Chain A
């Protein structure tokens, strides 16, 4: 079946997703306006201010979205490896010629005040290549070879980004395990991941990590005793226990010998291990105050005291959710979270109605990435996740972030709109 060239480019576009996109952008703009309001530049499009600039960025993003919808999406399949390769080169380039901002070398200056953040692009290119790879006819994720290649596609940019060093962006890629899970990866990996998170917390919270090791050995022994009949389960449990013990030791080692002090502090604060609240803890505490003061209905637009008096640092970017919480209250915060939930669930729905694996995989990738950003960012502002600098999609101030998320989303919309057709030769 060939595509009818007379058909409008906007045929079959999932408008709900587009509307959610516009809603989030608008919410973002209003909150940035409140957070960054400068009485000297009251005009909303004044580019001296963050909100002025964000207004421009939103326009750019919308134009980008329209452009993507106008393009032929079938090229994307073919171009996926090239895009991935170019992104890899950029990731390497940024390590060499990138500007060092706040200890990270994450930006390449393009001149004229424009900057490019390759790690943002990497999220897009990885989803794309992963989609292409898993779309292959003989690829089964349950086979070791395929698994390793897929893992490699994800881990490779992760490693490069880790060199910048940008812990936040690196961690985003770990969310892509959900994509693999959907394509057939054993659920044990998910369970293991959840286990690892628990062990991570326990290892650091308990006085001596050896207690945790001891507990694991005991637990493992008990379970092995229970399933001693089942050879397969026995070896699985044994393997898992060993893995967990190894994990505990590596966490302990990493934490004590590899992590830099400022990173340690952030983790400590979340785990409640320290009350060093003068430096890092101050941000989070101020953030909680801001959000907490919102109560049910919030303090009203442009009336948040913590926002107005600039008590929360980084308020337009990483901590933008504070403004939501303070000025729009619990109701507003839940609404925003609800919007995000609705968005990712919608993306899942889009994913499941695809005929081609390519788009489905890509869709889950987009969902995972967006979800991860939301959870980590909001979690950071309410103090249940260590301070990791990643933005809130579509809402946080930042041209690079907005553009890359728009790219991520609209490519999906475009691919989805072609779901009835053949998208690869």
Chain B
């Protein structure tokens, strides 16, 4: 025993007292206070997810590219469904009794006591008539959803589309997404998902044992309001985007336009394109499946995923490198007999004696083959491999063969051959400049994306540097100013060497290969290109910037199977430039219409584009496959979805606000 043993009673007393206090409180909560019981035994809390409106995307002038429209899902909790007039219900919903039974069975199978979707995406009209009667059908309740709507049906590949989250998305997000949420799958929707998606809210409603909604739980004290996504202002200019898409109808190809002084993307056209409204809503599955099977691949984002040999548009680059290296001067001239030594490459006609500017203007292959040979042999013909490596580095500074880092997913790198490749193809020391001469005229293994080509024009317009191309101007009301977009990327060519090249490019438009695409009153500098196509007609390419002084727009246009650069690409570019700079087209419309209506679609059975980047396509394929996991819509519908133009941007509390038109 211990002298303090009396304290055992104190300690025991403390234990007993405290336990009694707990019992007292329990007594209060369980026996005396009714408040909790009311909420639990008879009533059940139903958390109803509040889906926020996704952020709209605008063009640089505030025009709406994509916004939201309200749709309604009908949910059902089978356990809480009481007998009702099924015929009436089916009539209101527009389904047959058999379909009803089928769906109801599925709902029970999912869970008798948890809500599941019974009918998806009713339009506002259908829902309106159903809503008043919904209380007659206990166990059924609505949730609101927002779907994307594209008032002008433009910029489909640029904007991308959204789809339901996959298991992988959910896992990767660490639980931020739940099944049934939507996520951007491609384009701007994917790149700026975090900005656009807002935050899902939850509203707690009290539901009694009959399944009837009794009202808000604790007056909404626990509710969290859905936070709408932020409005995204892109740099796109809808006027020239739409014009570009119009002109590219019936053609396969791409247009990219950039503002040289900022790197902002002004136009981003991929053809063939599609109405983005097709990938929204219940018809999405069907439409996507159709598009996927389309041999012309409308889902391919050609501006950053299609590879083309740049053709003659590559010539100014070689000229600049040669000038910088001191191998030529603007006055350096070569005599063109119509073909280079050995017969290839040849020119359309003998050009005679040309200096740099003229060579650019008439696109003389002889001239540039000579320049290229000079470039390659600067260390002696035997050392071409090391020379090539150096040359390749210089070309890479223009971002050929490298990603530019645009803020869109799945950008292609293009392809720049390496000395190692040639060593493998020809054998070490078994190749000279004439083995790779096609690089002089932008053919051969060299491949670039339209974005890269447009970026070259920015570089030339800026006399030696470019800004990283990007499409974001503002989030909400705040402009986005990021270091990586305001930094100048110098390409290692002194500013002074650009003048003679630009002179040549001006002559291209004034008197050279693109003279039929002149714009009265505007000095446009450009370069035509004709990319060889072994499978069909050549591709028509044109790159340019305008005006010469204080350039506002740099552009690259590729029209597959368009023949010579001057035939289609140059005029299309010139219309876009004219529209952008003067907001109108003053030139005669019959030429415009001829171009617009021209159908250059290649024969689909033979259509094989060696310029598709398979990997990017596969990732799209995978993304599409995931989002198409759901079974397709149960009704067969037309491929055109009726647009509802009366609803503007809808805020979660259904306050209607219209954006400035």
Chain A nearest CB from B455 CB (Å) reads 44
Please, which residue of chain B has its CB at the minimum distance from the CB of A299? B41
Complex: A275 Cα to B221 Cα, angstroms: 9
**Distance in angstroms between the alpha carbons of A299 and B21 in the assembled complex:** 24
Chain A interface residue number, banded:
35 or more
One of A42-50, A91-99, A101-109, A344-352 at the interface: A344-352
Residues of B within 8 A of A333 (CB): 26, 30
A43 to chain B, nearest CB (A): 20
CB distance from B182 to the nearest CB of A (A): 24
Asked if A292 and B30 make an inter-chain contact with CB atoms under 8 angstroms apart, the answer reads yes
Residues of A within 8 A of B45 (CB): 309, 311
Q: Report yes or no: B26 in contact with A334, Cβ–Cβ below 8 A.
A: yes
Contact A290 B15 (CB under 8 A): no
- In terms of DSSP, what is the predominant structure of the interface of chain B? helix
Query: Is B224 in the interface zone, CB < 8 Å from A?
Result: yes
A417 on the interface (CB 8 Å rule)?
A: no
B21: A residues at CB distance < 8 A: 384
Within 8 A of A (CB), among B26-40: 26-27, 29-31, 33, 35-37, 39-40
Binds A, one of B2-10, B359-367, B565-573: B2-10
Roughly how many angstroms separate A58 CA and B159 CA in the complex, as a whole number?
57
Least CB distance, A171 to chain B, in whole angstroms: 15
A347-367 interface with B by 8 A CB criterion: 348, 351-352, 357, 360, 364, 367
- Does A282 make an interface contact (CB < 8 A)? yes
Q: Is B428 among interface residues, defined by CB-CB distance under 8 A?
A: no
Nearest CB of chain A from residue B637's CB, rounded to whole Å: 36
B residues near A309, Cβ cutoff 8 Å: 44-45, 113
Roughly how many angstroms separate A294 CA and B18 CA in the complex, as a whole number?
A: 22
Give A8-21 as 1s and 0s: 1 = Cβ < 8 Å from B's Cβ atoms: 00000000000000
Residue B19, interface by CB 8 Å: yes
Once the chains bind, are A289 and B30 in contact (CB under 8 Å)?
no
A296 with B31: CB separation less than 8 A: yes
A124 to B262 CA separation, bound complex (whole angstroms): 68
Please name all residues of chain A whose beta carbon is closer than 8 Å to the beta carbon of B223 when the two chains form the complex. 278
Known contacts A289-B36, A341-B16, A282 near B222 by CB under 8 Å: yes
Q: Verify B2–A357 contact, CB threshold 8 A.
A: yes
* Chain A 321-359 per-residue mask, 1 if CB under 8 angstroms from chain B, else 0: 000011001100110010011001100100110000100
Distance A292 CA – B27 CA, assembled complex (angstroms): 9
Q: Which residues of A contact B31 (CB under 8 A)?
A: 295-296, 330
Partner of B23, one of A183, A275, A306, A337: A337
Stretch at the interface among A153-161, A252-260, A371-379, A386-394: A371-379
Evaluate contact between A292 and B37: CB separation under 8 angstroms.
yes
Contact mask B561-605 → A, CB, 8 Å, 1/0?
Answer: 000000000000000000000000000000000000000000000
> How far is B39's CA from A222's CA once the two chains are assembled, in angstroms?
50
Across the interface, A277 reaches (CB within 8 A) one of B4, B14, B222, namely B222
Minimum Cβ distance to chain B for residue A102 (Å)? 13
CB <8 Å contact, B15 and A182: no
B30–A182 CB distance below 8 A = no
- Interface presence of A184 (CB below 8 A): yes
Q: Which residues of B contact A311 (CB under 8 A)?
A: 45
Indicate whether A30 reaches chain B with its CB closer than 8 angstroms. no
| Contact partners of B222 in chain A: CB under 8 A | 277-278, 282, 285
A181 within 8 A of B: yes
A322 vs B40: C-alpha distance in the bound complex, in angstroms? 13
**A349 nearest in chain B by CB position:** B8
Expressed in whole angstroms, the Cα–Cα distance for A289 and B218 within the complex equals 12
Interface status of A293 (Cβ within 8 A of chain B): yes
Instruction: Given the known inter-chain contacts A282-B222, A352-B5, A382-B29, please indicate yes or no for A305 contacting B22, CB distance below 8 A.
Output: no
> Does A178 make an interface contact (CB < 8 A)?
yes
Contact A184 B37 (CB under 8 A): no
Q: How far is the CA of A30 from the CA of B461 in the complex (A)?
A: 77
Inter-chain contacts of B8 with A (CB < 8 A):
182, 348, 351-352
Tell me if A414 is interfacial: C-beta within 8 Å of chain B. no
Q: Which of B7, B15, B35, B221 has the most CB of A within 10 A?
A: B15
Chain A neighbourhood of B5, CB < 8 A: 352
Q: Contact check, A337 vs B224: say whether CB atoms are below 8 A apart.
A: no
- By a CB distance below 8 angstroms, the chain A residues around B98 are none
In angstroms, Cα B37 to Cα A348, docked, is: 38
Which of chain B's residues has its CB closest to A181's CB? Answer: B7
Chain A positions within 8 Å of B30 at CB level:
291-292, 294-296, 325, 329-330, 333
Contacts of B7 in A (CB 8 A): 181-182
Taking CB atoms and an 8 Å cut-off, the chain B residues in 45-72 that contact chain A are 45
User: In the docked arrangement, what's the CA distance between A220 and B71, Å?
Assistant: 69
Asked if B25 and A382 sit within 8 Å, CB to CB, the answer is yes
Q: Collect the chain B residues with CB atoms within 8 Å of residue A292's CB.
A: 29-30, 33, 35-37, 40
B residues within 8 Å of A by Cβ? Answer: 1-5, 7-8, 10-12, 14-16, 18-19, 21-23, 25-27, 29-31, 33, 35-37, 39-41, 44-45, 113, 218, 221-224
Known: A289-B39, A333-B30, A334-B23. 8 other contacts (CB 8 A): A182-B8, A278-B222, A282-B222, A291-B26, A329-B30, A344-B15, A367-B15, A384-B21
Closest 7 A/B residue pairs (Cβ): A292-B36, A293-B40, A330-B30, A292-B29, A289-B36, A341-B19, A293-B41
A–B Cβ pairs within 8 angstroms, 11 of them: A178-B14, A275-B221, A278-B221, A291-B29, A292-B37, A306-B40, A330-B30, A341-B15, A344-B15, A367-B11, A384-B21
